[in-house]
């Protein structure tokens, strides 16, 4: 009797697990960084290895950190949107060139354009691990203090930007303005 009940119980448990996952967005991978400070890092600048890019460079205003690579097909899909976003001046975009070859990444930016305020070169992918990167592209939204507000996995599109990023950016900037006003009135 137990010989028959155990497989049925395992099957039912697996079925419940799979059914629970049906309603979830496969592109949405939760990040333990949400609400926490972004990981600390200092990496060479992609175009000039004698200079560095660090987490402190990103602090001070609401910003994006976009994880990308020249070998990434989906990164190419989002690149035109990133270029338009950069031209609009809406928000600074910092690049994290992840597990890439420097010459290939530089060629990519030369040929397709460079939407990044600064571009950190993470050739071995160690900083990406600290950020919890699963693959490219991934985009993190940070507040002015460098806390991670949101993480998006997959290419950015105008629709994703409108629905997911714009409301969070508006909220973060509102909080930023309130903090600045409180500092001003406290001085």
Range of the structural domain that residue 144 is part of: 31-186
Backbone angles phi, psi at 180, to 5 degrees: -65, -40
**Which CATH number do you get for residue 113?**
3.40.30.10
- Asked whether residue 1 is assigned to any structural domain, the reply reads no
Residue 182: the pLDDT is: 64
Report the number of distinct structural domains present in the chain: 1
- Asked whether residue 143 is assigned to any structural domain, the reply reads yes
- Rounded to whole angstroms, how far apart are CA atoms 145 and 151? 16
Residues of the chain with pLDDT under 70: 1-32, 179-187
- Asked whether residue 159 is assigned to any structural domain, the reply reads yes
- Asked whether residue 7 is assigned to any structural domain, the reply reads no
Beta bridge partners of 37: 147
- pLDDT tens, residue by residue, 103-150: 999 999 999 999 999 999 999 999 999 999 999 999 999 999 999 999
- Asked whether residue 9 is assigned to any structural domain, the reply reads no
- Asked whether residue 168 is assigned to any structural domain, the reply reads yes
- Asked whether residue 138 is assigned to any structural domain, the reply reads yes
Do 142 and 63 meet the contact criterion of CB atoms below 8 Å apart?
yes
């Amino acid at each position: 009797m137990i010989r028959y009940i155990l497989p049925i119980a395992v099957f039912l448990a697996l079925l419940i697990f799979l059914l629970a996952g049906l309603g979830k967005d496969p592109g949405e991978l939760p990040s333990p960084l949400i609400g926490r400070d972004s990981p600390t890092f200092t990496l060479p600048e992609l175009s000039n290895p004698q200079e560095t890019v660090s987490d402190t460079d990103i602090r001070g205003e609401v910003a994006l950190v976009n994880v990308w690579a020249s070998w990434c097909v989906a990164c190419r899909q989002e690149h035109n949107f990133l270029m338009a976003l950069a031209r609009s001046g809406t928000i600074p975009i910092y690049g994290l060139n992840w597990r890439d070859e420097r010459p290939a990444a530089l060629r990519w930016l030369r040929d397709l354009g460079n939407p990044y305020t600064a571009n950190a070169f993470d050739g071995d992918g160690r900083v990406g691990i600290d950020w919890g990167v699963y693959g490219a592209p991934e985009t993190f939204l940070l507040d002015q203090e460098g806390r991670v507000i949101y993480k998006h996995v997959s290419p950015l599109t105008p629709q994703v930007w409108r629905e997911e990023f714009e409301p969070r950016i508006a909220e973060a900037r509102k909080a930023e303005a309130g903090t600045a006003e409180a500092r001003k009135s406290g001085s």
